Structure 1
């Protein structure tokens, strides 16, 4: 079994620094001096609530990257803050920016996708099921799938790890492991 790949932790410093800079810029702690002759930005000045919300979203993403093994409840709270501030920023841009119909549709797409994602996550938390998580399978089911697809060594690893993680089910996992090993032996060998 391969480990899940995680983002490099130094990337959290980039998110934190950029988010902090955007928040300080929008609160006028860092002074914004517009240069003549440069292209206009979305807003004439960065002093807008949706700019602050975007900076807060970047700052909220930083601890999720820096501490990948933080407690699940903290992950949920920080993830909810990041999601909601990002959606608020995008909705603010959608409402406040003078765009044509095509520009509004293009800006509404990430807001709609993010809203669907937040809805799916709330539904998962409400029902207690995470249908897209392969780690949510029972170890016996996972081992059976691996054995069916010709990976008996990985199936053994799954069951051995399950015996260590769930000692109260160890006899059940041991019986399954013994049965799988008996089936693997070829006659006449």
Structure 2
């Protein structure tokens, strides 16, 4: 269960000791379509970085665009704040993206079928199209991997400003995956993405 601070659901946070008896930290949180990346108050070991009223030191709010754009903007800012707080590591952005994808995938759904998640470049100009596919996984795990493909593996080659008008936009793609309850397939930019049963065509 993700913690809630002053109405904001904490998606991921990092708080570390950066010098003797001195803690610094950052967090990424959401409230509906709004997102925030924030710097926690410095403190001693055991402190949460938030006041009793749930306030933090400072942060950047993202609410002017679509939920997906707000989220990705906050994710980038989260890494920037981690550098300022001296808690960034070489794996920080990857680890925080994994936490975000877990959050978006939602809770375990044993009532739903096992599916594989996959993507491939669908632009006919690619001789050796990139892509990836998983084995059949519990539904929430398959959704996690599909979000990973969307946010990490293909974020740069399916950016809205590069593929505007080609297919649906990133926000629509994220909404499709979040609301999925079974097999699905869609195009985003020059890529094809899917959730599929083991006996279905996946390429």
TM range (shorter): under 0.3
Q: Where is the strand percentage greater, Structure 1 or Structure 2?
A: 2
- For the pair shown, which has the larger CA radius of gyration, 1 or 2? 1
Q: Where is the helix percentage greater, Structure 1 or Structure 2?
A: 1
TM-score (norm 2): 0.22
